[in-house]
């Protein structure tokens, strides 16, 4: 029997896997494409292949994530998808592996939620599951010295949720999870384009718009042409969408993020608050890639704001670094 140690960020938008000794070995959409039949769902594609056909299928085919807003909606399909991902990273065929898995989870993750995720991982063939706060992994992956007596606020904007935490000496002093993330922006963009331009676009197109011209600068004139369906005639249609449109979809989410950040800042002990005022705020996750977000938050909060290197992969890279350092991992787990 061969043992392997991995870290898995099993999110509602993407799944990332770090394998000890090999690094980041997989990042694919947490998606399943299935044909609806009288006998149930017939799997057509998983992960990246499911993403490729999203929005391009007939009415009988659905593309879905088994994780919605951080909740396992189907243990059966979540385990099936996770098993598919794990099999892709096991290079030695025919060898029985005992898989030990470190799993980042949101702040305030309940014991019931942990047991649901544990059941999914065990169902996928994992032998041992250890949970660790996602915000600590994101901070560590973003090169914050989480073990120093020097507090930072870290904001990790994921696909379906945003984690906010103040970290000092390997522990979370204060933290919260907001059930809104990058997918919220995609949904708002779909609604905005339909309302403003009378064109219906899909989530995949909205995500592409956000990633290519998403900006919080008032004078940003970037634009792109996208295709969809005219909501009045049901005929194919094209429309030019502007960075200002994307900003309108982003701001409501950031307003909620700022509200939670301010609430967290206001309840910090004076010494910790002084550290945060000095060190500022570190942004990780996909949300950090939006152009102008540092300047926007700096103006709203009157605090220094920086984007971590490798921000979109900070969580899984931080989990991988801890997985590779037994002493530091034990220290973090002892503080939970």
Compute how many other C-beta atoms are within 10 angstroms of the C-beta atom of residue 126. 22
- 120 in the same domain as 15: yes
Q: Over the stretch 17-71, which tens digit does the pLDDT of each residue have?
A: 999 999 999 999 999 999 998 888 899 999 999 999 988 888 889 999 999 878 8
- 143 is a domain residue: no
Query: Which two tokens mark 147?
Result: 């073990």
pTM of model > 0.85: yes
- 172 in the same domain as 232: yes
Backbone angles phi, psi at 97, to 5 degrees: -105, 140
Q: Which residue do the tokens 């037994």 mark?
A: 326
- 208 in the same domain as 130: no
Query: Which two tokens mark 209?
Result: 């718009």
- 239 is a domain residue: yes
The answer to whether 276 and 144 are in contact (CB under 8 A) is no
pLDDT reported for residue 303: 95
Q: Over the stretch 168-195, which tens digit does the pLDDT of each residue have?
A: 999 999 999 999 999 999 999 999 999 9
Residues of the chain with pLDDT below 50 are: 1
Q: How far is CA 132 from CA 97, 100, 204, 265, 270, in A?
A: 23, 13, 31, 23, 27
Q: Which helix (H) or strand (E) holds 172?
A: strand 171-178
- 190 in the same domain as 46: no
For residue 315, which of 173, 157, 91, 186 has the smallest C-alpha distance? 157
Q: Which domain holds residue 322?
A: 2-25+69-136+317-335
The domain total for the chain is 3
- 231 in the same domain as 324: no
The answer to whether 121 and 144 are in contact (CB under 8 A) is no
Q: What is the CATH number of the domain that holds 276?
A: 3.30.420.40
The answer to whether 166 and 107 are in contact (CB under 8 A) is no
């Amino acid at each position: 029997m061969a043992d392997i140690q991995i870290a898995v960020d099993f999110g509602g938008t993407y799944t990332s896997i770090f394998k000890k000794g090999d690094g980041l070995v997989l990042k694919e959409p947490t998606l399943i494409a299935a044909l609806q039949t009288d006998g149930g769902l017939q799997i057509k594609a998983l992960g990246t292949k499911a993403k490729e056909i999203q929005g391009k299928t007939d009415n009988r085919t659905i593309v879905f994530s088994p994780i919605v807003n951080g909740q396992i909606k189907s243990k059966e399909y979540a385990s099936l998808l996770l098993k598919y991902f794990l099999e892709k990273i096991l290079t030695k065929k025919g060898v029985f592996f005992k898989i030990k898995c470190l799993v980042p989870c949101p702040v305030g993750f309940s014991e019931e939620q942990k047991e649901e995720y544990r059941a999914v991982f065990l169902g996928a063939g994992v032998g041992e599951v250890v949970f660790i706060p996602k915000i600590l992994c994101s901070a560590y992956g973003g090169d914050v010295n989480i073990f120093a007596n020097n507090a930072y606020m870290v904001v990790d904007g994921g696909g379906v949720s945003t984690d906010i935490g103040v970290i000092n000496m390997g522990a979370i002093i204060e933290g919260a999870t907001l059930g809104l993330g990058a997918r919220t922006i995609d949904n708002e963009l779909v609604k905005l384009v339909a309302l403003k331009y009378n064109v219906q676009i899909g989530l995949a197109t909205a995500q592409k718009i956000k990633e290519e011209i998403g900006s919080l600068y008032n004078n940003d004139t970037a634009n792109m042409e996208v295709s969809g369906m005219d909501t009045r005639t049901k005929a194919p249609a094209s429309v030019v969408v502007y960075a200002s449109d994307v900003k309108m979809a982003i701001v409501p989410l950031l307003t909620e993020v700022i509200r939670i950040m301010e609430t967290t800042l206001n309840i910090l002990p004076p010494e910790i608050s002084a550290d945060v005022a000095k060190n500022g705020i570190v942004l990780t996750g996909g949300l950090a890639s939006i152009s102008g977000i540092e300047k926007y938050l700096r103006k709203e909060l009157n605090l220094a704001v920086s984007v971590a290197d490798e921000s979109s992969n900070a969580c899984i890279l931080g989990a991988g670094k801890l997985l590779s350092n037994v002493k530091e991992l034990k220290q973090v787990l002892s503080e939970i």
